[in-house]
Structure 1
Amino acid sequence: MSLNFHTMHDKNPDIVASLARLHEHHFGARPTVITGLQGDGSDRQIFRLSSDANEPVIGIYGPNRRENEAFISFSRALHQHAIPVPIIYTYDADAHIYLESDLGDVTLLEWSNQHDDSSSVLTMYRQVISWLPKVQLTSKDSIDYTKCHPFAAFRREAMQFDLDYFQSSFLSRFLRIRLDNAALANDFNLLIAHLLRAPFDAFMYRDFQSKNIMICNEQPFFIDYQSGRKGALQYDVASLLFDANVNLSHSFREAMLEFYIRETMRYIPIQEKKFLTFYYDFALLRMLQALAAFSFLVFQKGKSYFMKSIPNALQNIAFLLTQDDCMLRRLPELRRLFEEDVLNNPQALS
């Protein structure tokens, strides 16, 4: 039986053939249609495989074996706790391919854009957020942290990596700003020292944002947690509520943050004041990492559509500059860079 390929002009035919064989080996039937799907920021190639014998499934080729193994290991651990993630059907480690359940094509970002009714969006975000503490806390002892890649915990080394990434990719390459490296390094050290005081005994999803949450039958499902690691609770909820792909109002963010804290207190006690001591600073670190990633994807990967996310991320930074609880106001060089060089830069804001 010949395969019917759709939108495959930029796909490797050897990968497609390998996925077809894996499908036949696992399900006992050759796929009749294989459709290439649009990825986002990663180097993975994603396909939908359909056959007459079973429901469509997703086939993925991931060139990074450690990343694949982290995703598969975490998926199985999360699934044990009834968390809505893809089911992993089969994995060929040597070929860097695996098959998982098909969750459709609608992300939380797309779903939100299709619903003008603010109450519907609020309800969906509450559904999403109600799952987050379960992901972070009930699964944490089932996660195999030896599979984490590239860091097993979001501690000093990982934080420094993100800050160096921001400096090199966004400040130096994208904006080409002349930097006082010593002053900036001092600010980075102060920020890291502060964040290291936060409890970090949770499973940190790492990329908990609207493009990594699928809406299937009006229910949220979670994907792309392969960079997960042990970390602080605040990072993931800040990643969602300061998502540069979505313009969320301050009042919406505050309501969702309060809801998250209440939901998390169903699992562990939380001192709200202490939690908020670190929340905006993890939001800051997330925004710096996002600015670096957007710059890298635009200039190194040629994915120009990420350019539109940079002004949104900078709007979030501008908001953080107004918050007394955010350490950015007390980091003199980083604050100066944003107030004098970045937030007035036409290239960054266009």
Structure 2
Amino acid sequence: MFTEEHRQALGRLLAAQGLSPDIPVADRMAGDGSDRQFFRFSVGDLSLLAVLPSPTLPLGMAEARAAHAIGLHFSTHGAAVPRIYGFAEECGLILFEDLGDTKLHDLVLLYGAESPEVDLFYREALAALAHLQTEASQDFQPAWCWDTPRYDRELMLTRESGYFQKALCEDFLGMNNLPRGLIQEFVFLADRALQEPADFILHRDFQSRNLMVHKGKVRIIDFQGARMGPLGYDLASLLIDPYAGLSLDRQQALLGCYLDALASHIPLDRGRFIEGYYYMALQRNLQILGAFAFLSKIRGKQFFRQFIKPAARTLHEHLAAPQGRDFPTLRAVVQQVRNLLEAHDQE
């Protein structure tokens, strides 16, 4: 709810920018997985977005402070993020540049994931990602992070592979007798992922619904969860994104495009990167499935339910690669997941 406290704070932020503090009626906008509150309004010819902290998240104010500090840092380093016009520390309101309504995912739906029009934006997004990951890692302060300061083993085991096990397998599908070897394989996966260099910016949700297309340019939003981490995770987030359903051939072509962009910023061993990318994509795929199951079943956000089967199919295909031989238990569990999802659809 946009309270009188928020209205007063917004008026002060507008006045500090030399804008009229007389605030017109704001339009409430829907979010995706987050329950932060978004309000769009105009001041003269300027369209702005006021974002309020989550009313249910205990660390909602910490998340807002992170979004402000990280957003300013990214802007300083030339990242393709929205301009921040101000922050009201007392209530957590952030005043952003409004980037409109067109997400990359909307263009995928309009033109098709494989269309030339969409391919250009994917390539631009990957160039923007490589810039963000490398250039904005300079002087990045882990103290800004509201969640964890870096992508680490505990996060992988609890909120990615553990998320998959609890939210999807147990809560969503009722798989209560999972094989004992599953946790050992999750530990192996996390330990292998930790071998990847991790001194780069990690957005952690770099997918087509967090990429806006504004005035013909790709812009990055929802960066409040950024921290230090490995390069391949954000790349995987975009390439295996179930919202878009990119073909394997398209994924390979875009991976090459990303590596070309990355090589313009840092020295790069392409073979090593590709080898490690397999495990980053596996971690991300597990996280996606856990998140979609949780959001659809626990949060009641049915929009996400339709993407569970495609994400499970991608995980199955990923485990069919040669590296998948190290995960026989997970492969069996994923096959059971797919069978149960099919059975649910037929009920």
Fold agreement, TM-score > 0.5? yes
1:105-116 equivalences under 5 Å are: 105-116=101-112
How high is the TM-score relative to the length of structure 2? 0.91
Change (3 A) 1:348 1:222: farther
Name the amino acid aligned to 2:152. Answer: R
How many Å separate the matches in 2 of 1:94 and 1:111? 38
Matched, 1:67 2:63: yes
Asked if structure 1 preserves the Cα contact closer than 8 Å seen for 2:203 and 2:225, the reply is yes
Give me the identity figure in percent: 29
Segment of structure 1 superposing worse, 226-235 or 21-30:
21-30
Aligned partner of residue 56 in structure 1, secondary structure: strand
**Cα offset, 1:33, TM superposition:** 2.8
Say how many residue pairs are matched: 336
1:343 maps to amino acid: R
For 1:96, the equivalent position in structure 2 comes to: 92
Report the counterpart of residue 121 of structure 1 in structure 2.
118
CA contact (8 A) 1:20 1:30 kept: no
Aligned in 2, Cα 1:281/1:25: closer, same or farther, shift over 3 Å?
Answer: same
RMSD: 1.8
1:39-61 deviation digits (Å, cap 9, x = unpaired)? 11001000102233x51200010
State the Cα distance separating 1:128 from its structure 2 match.
0.9
CA displacement, residues 126-181 of structure 1 (integer Å, 9 cap, x when unaligned) = 11111111100011013221111311111211111222222111111001102346
Letter in 2 for 1:342: V
1:342 alignment partner in structure 2: 337
Q: Name the SS for the 1:100 alignment partner.
A: strand
Which is further off, 224-233 or 111-120? 111-120
* Pair 1:38 & 2:38 matched: no
Instruction: Read off the aligned partner of 1:100 and give its amino acid letter.
Output: F
Partner amino acid for 2:29? L
State the partner residue of 2:48: 57
Counterpart of 1:290 in structure 2 is 288
Maintained 8 Å contact 2:72/2:84? yes
Query: Which residue of the partner structure matches residue 11 of structure 2?
Result: 21
Contact 1:23-1:31 within 8 A present in 2 as well: no
Deviation at residue 25 of structure 1 after TM alignment:
3.8
Give the deviation of 1:20 after TM superposition: 4.9
Q: Is the 8 A contact 1:103 1:214 kept in 2?
A: yes
* Alignment match, 2:57: none
Question: Is the 1:311–1:349 contact (alpha carbons within 8 Å) kept by the matching residues of 2?
Answer: no
Distance 1:215 1:349 in 2: 36
Q: Relative to 1, partners in 2 of residues 1:18 and 1:302: Cα closer, same or farther, differing over 3 Å?
A: farther
Verify the 8 A CA contact 1:297 1:303 in the aligned structure 2: yes
SS at match of 1:43: coil
2:343 & 2:226 partners in 1: Cα distance?
A: 29
Distance 1:348 1:141 in 2: 50
1:12-67 per-position Cα deviation (integer Å, ceiling 9, x unaligned): 55576356534554423312231011111001000102233x51200010131111
Equivalences for residues 1-350 of structure 1 within 5 A: 11-14=1-4, 17-18=7-8, 20-22=10-12, 24-26=14-16, 27-52=19-44, 54-63=45-54, 64-116=60-112, 118-161=115-158, 162-180=160-178, 182-324=180-322, 326=323, 328-339=324-335, 341-346=336-341, 350=345
Q: Is the 8 A contact 2:232 2:273 kept in 1?
A: yes
- Tell me if the contact between 1:44 and 1:60 (Cα under 8 Å) persists in the aligned partners: yes
String of CA shifts for 1:91-127, please: whole Å, max 9, x gaps. Answer: 1122121111011110110122222471111111111
Give the alignment's TM-score, normalised by structure 1.
0.91
